């Protein structure tokens, strides 16, 4: 067992890759938190995201089960047996610069759907007002085009 560059514990090697085991750190408030990091072998490039799985109309229909879809950032669509809730949706591109996400970042993968393509919602929940959670363009479009209320 060794130590990773960041000070985390190096716990194993598999297939030429090194994995760092989570261990307890103490936060500023005295609480404990866990950290984990995978160290890439020398010369390996940045990991790439898997292809986007577009959300189609089936994600918005009534179902016998509860389903969860990742949108982007901290955003999720929850379909709880036909009740549709979006949590922290940020699913619009910039109005001023269409190659940028509304948060101002370039995306590594395309959005699974655009806010204007959402057929219906029952509610939109924003957990807090940071730019990557409270996306104003998305909020405006969803409130105008669906019966959802935030």
pLDDT digits (tens, 9 = 90+) for 92-143: 998 888 888 888 888 888 899 999 999 999 999 999 888 777 888 899 999 8
Same domain, 13 and 85: no
Residues in the chain: 150
* Least confident piece of the model among 29-38, 43-52, 59-68, 131-140: 29-38
65 and 139 in a single domain? The answer is yes
Range of the domain at 7: 2-39
Claim: this prediction has a pTM higher than 0.75 = no
> For residues 87 and 125, what is the distance between their CA atoms, to the nearest angstrom?
5
Nearest partner of 94 among 111, 118, 81, 117, judged by Cα: 111
Whether the per-residue pLDDT at 33 is higher than 50: the answer is no
3-state secondary structure of 116: helix
C-alpha–C-alpha distance, residues 139 and 123, integer Å: 11
User: For tokens 């760092």, what's the residue?
Assistant: 20
Number of structural domains (the chain) is 2
Give the model's confidence band at 41: pLDDT under 50 very low, under 70 low, under 90 confident, else very high: low
Confidence at residue 44, expressed as pLDDT on a 0 to 100 scale: 67
Residue 102 lies in a domain: yes
């Amino acid at each position: 067992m060794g130590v990773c560059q960041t000070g985390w514990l190096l716990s194993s090697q598999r297939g030429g890759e090194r994995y760092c085991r989570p261990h307890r750190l103490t936060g500023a408030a005295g609480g404990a938190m866990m950290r984990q990091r995978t160290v890439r072998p020398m010369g390996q490039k940045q990991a790439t995201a898997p292809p986007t799985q577009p959300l189609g109309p089936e994600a918005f229909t009534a179902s016998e089960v509860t389903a969860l879809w990742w949108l982007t950032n901290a955003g999720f669509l929850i379909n709880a047996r036909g009740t549709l809730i979006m949590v922290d949706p940020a699913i619009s591109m910039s109005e001023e610069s269409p190659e940028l996400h509304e948060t101002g970042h370039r995306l590594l993968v395309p959005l699974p759907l655009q806010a204007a393509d959402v057929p219906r919602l029952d509610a939109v929940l924003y957990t807090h007002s940071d730019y990557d959670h409270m996306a104003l363009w998305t909020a405006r479009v969803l409130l105008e085009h669906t019966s959802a209320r935030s």
